[in-house]
Amino acid sequence: MRTISSFINVTLDGYFEGPNHDISFFKGDDEDNSYFREQSSSRSAILMGHRTYDMMKSFWPTEQAKKENPEVAKYMNEAPKIVVARRPFEPGWHNVTVVSGDVVGKIGKIKEQSGGPIVTLGSNALCVSLLEEGLIDEVRVMVNPIALGDGTPLFTGLSESARLTLADTRPFKSGKVLLTYKPDAARRTSPEAHAAAGARG
């Protein structure tokens, strides 16, 4: 069985995006790039929502990305990418699988397969859906040292409280702190429960 972890940037006051979906508060640096190189070494597949995918696709295949950050660009361009969308579409990028319809059921089946780890990037709504169905094994929150005062709170859309246990902290020289949590094991459901949830959806 594969593992699914989520990674999302958040401000100090708890927003993963500012008004009008603005994520310009996130400023990458060499230390961030080093972290992502560590992640690429695990040969993780990337799972994301359609909007996040469009942002990634608009940058990482470009010559600018390959020049500014060749290692991360290589990972983003070559890694298997799973994109959740309301309806099928032509991805126009290398190594992409589009998932639509019974998303929870289909991601549950992908998770049951053999293979490397899967990481969600951004995609708060997707993360909430998978967390509620017990499909997330690890939540990584990168807290950025900035307060916006307005925006969309992390985990917006969660229908009930979700308890998590802090597993690790990692401070960065920039003032960012990576918090790694494990969801309460009681929330993780069996493959049969995933199938039932998919049938209901």
- The domain spans of the chain are 4-200
**Residue 184: predicted pLDDT:** 86
Q: How far apart are CA 50 and CA 126, in angstroms?
A: 10
Confidence of residue 98 (pLDDT cuts 50, 70, 90): very high
- Dump pLDDT digits (tens) for 103-155: 999 999 999 998 889 999 888 999 999 999 999 999 999 999 999 999 999 99
Q: How far apart are CA 195 and CA 201, in angstroms?
A: 10
Helix axes 191-200, 103-112, angle to 10 degrees: 160
Q: What are phi and psi of 130, to 5 degrees?
A: -70, -35
Rounded to two decimals, the pTM is 0.81
In CATH terms, is domain 4-200 a member of 3.10.450.50?
Answer: no
